[in-house]
Amino acid sequence: MSIEKLVRKEIRALKPYNPGQSISDIKLKYGLEEVFNLSTNESVIGPSAVVQEALRNELANINQYPDGSSYLLRRALSEKYDIDSDMVIITNGGDELLYLLGSCFISPDDEIITGEYGFSTYEIVGSLYGAKIIRVPLRDGFLDLTGTVKQVTENTKMIFLCNPHNPDGTIFNQEDFNDFLKELPANIVIVLDEAYADFVENSEYPDSIRLIKENNHYIISLRTFSKIGGIAGLRIGFGIAREEIISCLRKVQPPYSVNRLAQIAARAFLSDNNYQNSLLQNNKQGKKYLYQQLDRLNLSYYPTESNFIFVDLRKDSDLMCTELIKRGIIVRSGKVWGKNTWVRITIGTPAQNRQLIRALEKIL
C-alpha cells in the first residue's frame, strides 16, 4: 500500500516550500568564484560584530537546554516596545508563529482570508488545518482592505495582512487600517505580518503595538530578527499580542523550540544600535540608487517600504533569473506570485547594486 493513502488528505494537497538554489550549488553548477544572494532579503552587511562576540562567549554553554520561556529576551522586547513581557512569544522564526496560530485557532471548515500574494506559509497553515482559503486580489500592488472586509462571513476565523507587503513592498496606512477595523467583527484573529516593519520610512505606517494595547480586536504582530537582525540562519522571531492570545499560543508551542544561541544573538542585537542604523542607512541609500538606475533603464517597479524592490523586467522572469545567476547574482522570480515578467530584488550593498545594474544592462 502506498504511504500516500495513510497521509491526511490536507497534506496530500500541499506543495513543499521551495527556498531556491543555494550559493554553493550555483558556484558548483556555473563554475563561479563569487555569488551573492539578492533573493531572500537577508541582511546584506553580514551579522553584527556584537552578536558574533556574544555567540562566541555562549558556546561553552550549549550543553545546556535553552530557556524554555525566553524570559530575558521577552523582557528586553517588553522594554523596547513598552509592553508587558507576557504579551510576547518568542518563536523559531516567524514560520513557527504562523504554525502555532494555525494549530491553536484554525479548525476544518473555518475560512481564512489573505491577499492575492504574500508569504505562502499563510495558505499552507490554513490548508493544513482544513480551512477554506479566500484570496483577495491586490489593488494596484496594494492590499485591498475594503475588498477584504467584503469577503468576511460568519465562518471567517483569521485574516493575514502582510505589511509591508511581500513581494511589492507596499503598505497600508494607519487611517485605512482604522477604517478596516471599524468594519470588522471583533471575533476574528488578525495576523499583521510585520517582518519588514523596521525598514518602513513612511510616517503613516500603522502603530500596531498601540492598537494591540487599546483596540478590542484580536490582533497579533509578527516580527522577526531574520531581516533587520542579520541572524536569519539562527531562526528566531516573535509575536506581540494581548496576553490571552499569547497564553493560548504557548499551550501548543513545543518545548525548547528556540535554541540557546538564537536567544543570545537576538538579545545582543537589541543592544547594538550601530548595526541597525548601518543596515537602515545602507537600505535607504541603495533604494535611492536603484530607483535612479531602474528609471534610467525605463523599468517599472513598486516604490518600496522594505529592503527589496519588485521590478518588471519585461521578459520571462525565470529566464532573467537564470541569466543573472550565470553572472553570480541570485534574485527571486515573480512567477511564484503569478507575475511572469517580474523579479524581487533585495537591496544590496553599493557594490552589489552596481554589479546588478551592470548585469541588467548587458542582459536587457
What is the model's pLDDT at position 205? 98
As given in the structure block, the three cell numbers for residue 95 are 514560520
pTM (predicted TM-score) = 0.94
| Predicted confidence band of residue 82 (pLDDT cuts 50, 70, 90) | very high
| Tens digits of residue pLDDT in 172-202 | 999 999 999 999 999 999 999 999 999 999 9
The third-level CATH classification (topology) of the domain covering 49-270 is: Aspartate Aminotransferase; domain 2 (3.40.640)
pLDDT tens for 236-250 read 999 999 999 999 999
113 and 134 in contact (C-beta within 8 Å)?
A: yes
pLDDT of 201-237, one tens digit each? 999 999 999 999 998 899 999 999 999 999 999 999 9
Domain extents in the chain: 3-47+274-363, 49-270
Sequential DSSP letters for 260-289: HHHHHHHHHHHT-HHHHHHHHHHHHHHHHH
Tell me how far apart the alpha carbons of residues 67 and 141 are, in angstroms, rounded to a whole number: 42
CA distance 118 to 114: 8
Cβ partners under 8 Å of residue 177, min gap 6: 145, 206, 211
* Residues in the chain, total: 364
Amino acid letter for position 248: C
Beta bridge partners of 161: 192
**E-strand stretches of 125-269:** 132-136, 156-162, 189-193, 218-224, 237-241
Cα 10 off chain centre by: 24
Residue pair 181/217 in contact by the 8 Å Cβ criterion: yes
Contact yes or no for 240/83 (Cβ under 8 A) = yes
Alpha carbons 143 and 170: distance in angstroms, whole number: 8
Confidence check: pLDDT of 27 > 90: no
d(C-alpha 289, C-alpha 357), whole Å: 10
Given the candidates 3.40.50.620, 3.50.50.60, 3.90.1150.10, 3.30.43.10, the CATH classification of the domain at 3-47+274-363 is: 3.90.1150.10
